[in-house]
Structure 1
């Protein structure tokens, strides 16, 4: 059975938003010939230029039903989301499709077409606060790699489109095909740390952001109490003004940021270090290991011991060699 895939493009789309899933579906199709048939489409057909200037050839918008309808993201989403013709077609095409998915800021188009109302969804972490303001009817899960709500899937920034495609392939063709596809791409079949956009936290506030210095100060003191009053005093602000300004700048409350920074630090120590788990819990500010275990399960879907075992298994020479043989290239560690 051939599953038809329709991928919507627009001027200034992000090239990897399209190329990542395209490559994943292509490689899955090599294992299961005829599994997928892909069509690139745009309101203005022909050569559609990405934000990098590289163009892909697209067919006109089609009235034919697709098994899976995908929407790329990129700088051009804002303009595309204001195009009545594109949104009308998207709404109708989504109604005919078995499932609908977006990569990165492609979620803006789904939301503008009303396809995410009263659904859970995600987008690139940098855009999540803006997305939530623009589309209050959507329940935004800002730190997820991808979210499935019924027939609608949304994914996070750029390379998360590959994670999304692997999940779709796993649903269609089985997890073994998805795993082998990931090996060919030299990426994780399932990223360590579950489905969290965790590396984003390293960039909270940006290098020149208002709270960049405070965030560095917080990272150096995760084993100390970091309540909003202490943080506000460090920022020379009242607690109320600080909490409001911090949330506007970073997209999360101070308490949530502290928890995420603790999780980020603890996960790195669990996966790359050799300290006992209870020592990691103390150093990262969780205090007791059971509290850290609960936080890990909630954030990553796995306890610390499971993440440590998985990281050590991936580091074994025989596993790295096997991954390299499968991919035909030297193995590399995918960015988290």
Structure 2
């Protein structure tokens, strides 16, 4: 079945993980575009502050304090959308957490928390979304994966496992929805490293403060991609040429990529700043002072635009040719030596 999606200013959008990073950037951009919003996150006070900000600008917003790992909480999100607006047009599963450290050193309870949020949060949200979308005329389901959906990263083993699982679940659900001929677009977004408070929110087992390998992209670029998928049915979208290059490398030369990551990524995920013994993280509970921040200052110059990402918004043969050229540029940059100017894509 051909899926036709509404323009943003005609939509009711549900968004989890709304008070930080990619979710916060997406919420603000969607409100600016005129969408009606149902925003969910664990910190109710942060949600209230964000909703007040948006209402001051004329947005129509409902909020739900919820842990997406709890199916009952996710059901409350869906109920809030129906009670307030009568339908859902787009559901975005964005909430996510991580742990930095060697797999042998990370506590099992911390691994389980990552999976509860990143995988089961997506499962819970997706099933609720499909139920509501089928009942109210269809729409878009958008799940936030990662470049780690296609290629695991050392020192973030459980995060990588969760994002692999998100990809697998999303692909399976997409086929089932298509088989049912439901008017639902199911999209997986795969960002590269994004300049959000992700590293500060993560639990850390390393001696140094965690960070992300370059290049680091602006969260607004992910928000733009998400909202594009809310209006245009797409199967997969990458954010950052690096994400696509890593995905291709995982398919075509996995062992070479192993060696390249061993040589670079361990160092690139550890900053020059020692990790404090009193360091707070948002793995199990939100940290109020860390909320309502879009950026994490992981790079002095995060990429605000990206050629490969933008070219995905084209159509037809032109898109194929342009994406191929951008991918070659990204792959070339990915193999360049550290310390030299890289990452043109």
State the TM-score bracket (shorter-chain normalisation). 0.3 to 0.5
TM-score, length basis structure 2: 0.36
Larger relative CO (CA 8 A, sep 6+): 1 or 2?
A: 2
Q: Larger C-alpha radius of gyration, 1 or 2? A: 1
TM-score, length basis structure 1: 0.36
